[in-house]
């Protein structure tokens, strides 16, 4: 399950999405996330589904990577659906009632909306990192945060920290998987027992994982220092970010998606 987490991973490619300016991809991802909460009916989710499928197809990212990214949130999606289904009331007569369990139509609709939002949220963020290299992501975030320099906010340092943290997610997941396999080879059991027992059995993993994380952070700091890294002041780039026609086309389709979502919310 741990190795299925795809957020933070990058798959090199030459697709339309790969060649988009990282600033445009970051802004599109943010607008996409906001749009998920604008939509209030299934008509709007039809537009989001079409936009998402089209983005996956033109990115040439295999669907198995998208599926792998959704597997770890399966339990969370089920819990979210059940909580909204059983704890949401309604004005109409209940669809199902047994003892203290009551299910209303409004609860089913809200549960479906919450699961769809969670699924599309993971797909959108995964697609951003799968098609954008860490260097491009750092440059894009820094460029977007540059206006904040006027009020004393260190844009480059923030962008660097965010990208390193994002990039370390798959690395730490791989490290966790290796530690679990090593302990299982020595007789550790992470599968049997109830939920509390299985949670307690994971505690011995935390110590070596923290030690490994601190070691990796120290190695990264030494590597950056040995290359005379002193922050973003005076730093030059081999590749300059420039907007192209591809970015304008992607922005047009994003604006169209938001417009259709607002339209679907106003006219039921």
Buried/exposed code over 240-253 (b: 16+ C-beta within 10 A; e: otherwise): eeeeeeebeebbee
Q: What pLDDT score was predicted for residue 7?
A: 64
Asked whether 119 and 70 are in contact (CB, 8 A), the reply is yes
- Composition of the chain by helix, strand, coil, percent to 5: 70, 0, 25
**Three-state DSSP class for 97?**
strand
Whether pTM exceeds 0.85:
no
Q: What pLDDT score was predicted for residue 53?
A: 92
Per-residue pLDDT of the chain (268 residues; tens, 9 = 90+): 455 566 667 888 888 998 999 889 999 999 999 998 888 888 888 899 999 999 999 998 888 888 877 877 788 888 888 887 777 776 777 676 777 777 777 778 888 888 888 899 888 888 888 888 877 887 888 888 888 778 877 777 787 787 787 777 777 777 887 888 887 787 777 677 666 776 677 777 888 888 888 888 888 888 888 877 776 666 666 677 788 899 999 999 999 988 888 888 776 5
How many other CB atoms are found less than 10 A from the CB of residue 81? Answer: 19
Backbone angles phi, psi at 131, to 5 degrees: -110, 5
What's the gap between Cα 266 and its chain centre? 29
Can you say whether the dihedral through the CA atoms of 37, 38, 39, 44 is positive or negative? negative
Name the E strands within 45-204. 96-98, 101-103
- Residues with Cβ within 8 Å of 48's Cβ and at least 6 positions away in sequence, in order, are 35, 36, 39, 120, 257, 261
Q: What pLDDT score was predicted for residue 3?
A: 53
Q: What pLDDT score was predicted for residue 4?
A: 54
Which of 159, 171, 183 minimizes the C-alpha distance to 219? 171
Q: What pLDDT score was predicted for residue 31?
A: 93
């Amino acid at each position: 399950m741990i190795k299925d987490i795809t957020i933070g991973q990058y798959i090199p490619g030459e697709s339309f999405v790969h060649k988009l300016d990282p600033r445009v991809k970051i802004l599109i991802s943010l607008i996409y996330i906001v749009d998920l909460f604008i939509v209030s009916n299934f008509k709007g989710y039809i537009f989001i589904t079409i936009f998402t499928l089209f983005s996956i197809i033109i990115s040439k990212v295999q669907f198995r990577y998208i599926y792998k990214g959704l597997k770890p949130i399966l339990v969370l999606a089920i819990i979210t659906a059940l909580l909204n289904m059983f704890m949401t009331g309604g004005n109409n007569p209940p669809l199902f009632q047994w003892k203290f369990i009551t299910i209303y139509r409004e609860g089913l609709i809200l549960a479906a909306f919450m699961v769809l939002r969670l699924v599309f949220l993971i797909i959108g963020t995964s697609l951003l990192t799968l098609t954008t290299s860490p260097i491009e992501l750092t440059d894009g975030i820094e460029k977007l945060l540059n206006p904040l320099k006027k009020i004393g906010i260190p844009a480059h340092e923030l962008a660097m920290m965010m990208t390193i943290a994002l990039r370390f997610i798959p690395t730490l997941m791989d490290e966790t998987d290796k530690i679990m396999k090593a302990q299982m080879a020595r007789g550790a059991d992470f599968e049997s027992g109830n939920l509390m027992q299985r949670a307690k059995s994971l505690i011995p993993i935390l110590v070596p994982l923290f030690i490994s994380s601190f070691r990796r952070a120290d190695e990264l700091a030494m590597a950056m220092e040995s290359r005379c890294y002193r922050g973003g002041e005076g730093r030059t780039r081999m590749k300059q970010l420039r907007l192209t026609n591809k970015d304008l086309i992607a922005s047009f389709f994003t604006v169209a998606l938001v417009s259709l979502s607002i339209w679907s919310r106003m006219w039921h």
